[in-house]
Structure 1
Amino acid sequence: MIKVGLILGIAGACRTDELVNLTVDDIEDVGFSLILKIPNTKTKIPRIFVVTDVGNMLELFRKYLSLRPPHFTASWQEYHGEIPSVVASYLKLPDVACYTGHCLRRSSATLLADAGVDITTIKRHAGWKSTTVAEGYVENSIENKTKIANQVLVGTTTSAITKTVNVSESNIPSNINFENCTKCNI
């Protein structure tokens, strides 16, 4: 149940109450993916999201569903805010109590941002109307900082600063030849 709740919470950028109120009846298994409907949202605009079979997630969901009694419509209420703290405890992270149900929503936004998804798509996915609010959910992850560092240090832009140096007028050793250099990075 914890694994399924974690997958659904992150895949759908679910608020705690959205995950709590999600029932098996809100999930449609269409074979190659799950289509999930969140009818009651904070913004009063229903949302739909999809879980695909990346990493056998559908198999895990189907196994969970097969263990439920027939006609069972239980939600994740008994674990509403505990899923992130249980995962944090399993991962032996510090301050386990700090990991609340809202971490799933924040993780979803951060994972999308780290993957290079634009803010409009992130807003649409999570149901945010404000860009400022959406940006507030994106954590400064190490992955994102690494991408930025690589862009800064490797240089992904086409503009370049060109400087002509007269070797005889500088302290550069005369055995270094800068003639006919293209795309030289120093």
Structure 2
Amino acid sequence: MIKVGLILGITGACRTDELVNLPVDDIEDVGSSLIVKIPNTKTKIPRIFVVTDVGNMLELFRKYLSHVKHKRLFLYYKAGKCSSQPVGKNTMGKIPSVVASYLKLPDVACYTGHCLRRSSATLLADAGVDITTIKRHAGWKSTTVAEGYVENSIENKTKIANQVLVGTTTSAITKTVNRKQAELGLCIRRLDWV
């Protein structure tokens, strides 16, 4: 349940309520991907997102779904067994802190259900996606609100540094700088400086 909640939450920039109330019928398995519909959102703007099979996510989802015998997707697990009781908002909101604890990250209590939306926006920004696409993906109307969700990550800072110092060419120098800075970013994260 935690893994599926994390996958859907980040992939779809979902709010905790959207995940809690997500019915099985709003997820369509089309073989190579899942099409997920979020019809009832806080902003009254229905959203659709897709989950592709990166890292066997679909296999994990299908395995989880085979145990679900309820209208709602997320059911409570205890002692490794699925119950028929739907997961509540508080349990869903604890998913990021459970993952942070597993990864031994500092300040586990700071990882709330809202981290799923923030992580989604930051990952998109780090990939070079424009703010309009980020807004559309998460269902935000305001550019200011959308920008507030994007964290200042090392990946984003690295891209900016490369553009300032090297330009946007794809020369061997740029590739070397990118690789070295990416390695530095990994080292910094491992040392918990970020």
Compute the TM-score of the two structures, normalised by the length of structure 1: 0.75
Equivalent residue, structure 2, for 1:180? 186
- Helix, strand or coil at the partner of 1:92: coil
Relative to structure 1, the CA distance from residue 164 to residue 124 in structure 2 (aligned partners, 3 Å threshold; closer, same or farther) is closer
| Residue 105 of structure 2 corresponds to residue 99 of structure 1 | no
- Asked whether the 8 Å contact 2:166–2:174 carries over to 1, the reply is no
Relative to structure 1, the CA distance from residue 38 to residue 151 in structure 2 (aligned partners, 3 Å threshold; closer, same or farther) is same
Relative to structure 1, the CA distance from residue 178 to residue 135 in structure 2 (aligned partners, 3 Å threshold; closer, same or farther) is closer
Q: Which has the larger radius of gyration?
A: 1
In the alignment of these two chains, the number of paired residues is 158
| Distance in 2 between residues matched to 1:34 and 1:133, nearest whole Å | 28
- Asked whether the 8 Å contact 2:154–2:185 carries over to 1, the reply is no
Relative to structure 1, the CA distance from residue 179 to residue 131 in structure 2 (aligned partners, 3 Å threshold; closer, same or farther) is closer
Matches within 5 A, 1:26-37: 26-37=26-37
| Distance in 2 between residues matched to 1:179 and 1:145, nearest whole Å | 10
Aligned identity (percent) is: 94
Residue 146 of structure 1, CA deviation:
1.0
Residue 23 of structure 1, CA deviation:
2.2
Residue 32 of structure 1, CA deviation:
1.0
Residue 156 of structure 1, CA deviation:
2.7
- Helix, strand or coil at the partner of 1:62: helix
Higher helix share: 2
Relative to structure 1, the CA distance from residue 155 to residue 7 in structure 2 (aligned partners, 3 Å threshold; closer, same or farther) is same
Higher strand share: 2
Residue 55 of structure 1, CA deviation:
1.2
- Helix, strand or coil at the partner of 1:14: coil
Relative to structure 1, the CA distance from residue 147 to residue 63 in structure 2 (aligned partners, 3 Å threshold; closer, same or farther) is same
Residue 24 of structure 1, CA deviation:
1.7
Q: Which runs of 4+ in 1 moved over 4 A?
A: 157-166, 177-181
Structure 2: unaligned runs, 5 residues or longer: 67-92, 188-193
Relative to structure 1, the CA distance from residue 161 to residue 53 in structure 2 (aligned partners, 3 Å threshold; closer, same or farther) is closer
Residue 51 of structure 1, CA deviation:
0.4
Equivalent residue, structure 1, for 2:164? 152
Equivalent residue, structure 1, for 2:41? 41
Structure 1: unaligned runs, 5 residues or longer: 67-80, 167-176
Relative to structure 1, the CA distance from residue 163 to residue 37 in structure 2 (aligned partners, 3 Å threshold; closer, same or farther) is closer
- Asked whether the 8 Å contact 2:134–2:146 carries over to 1, the reply is yes
Compute the TM-score of the two structures, normalised by the length of structure 2: 0.72
* Post-superposition CA distance 1:8-51 (Å, at most 9, x none): 00000001111111122221111111011111101111111110
RMSD: 8.2
Residue 155 of structure 1, CA deviation:
2.2
Relative to structure 1, the CA distance from residue 28 to residue 141 in structure 2 (aligned partners, 3 Å threshold; closer, same or farther) is same
Residue 138 of structure 1, CA deviation:
0.3
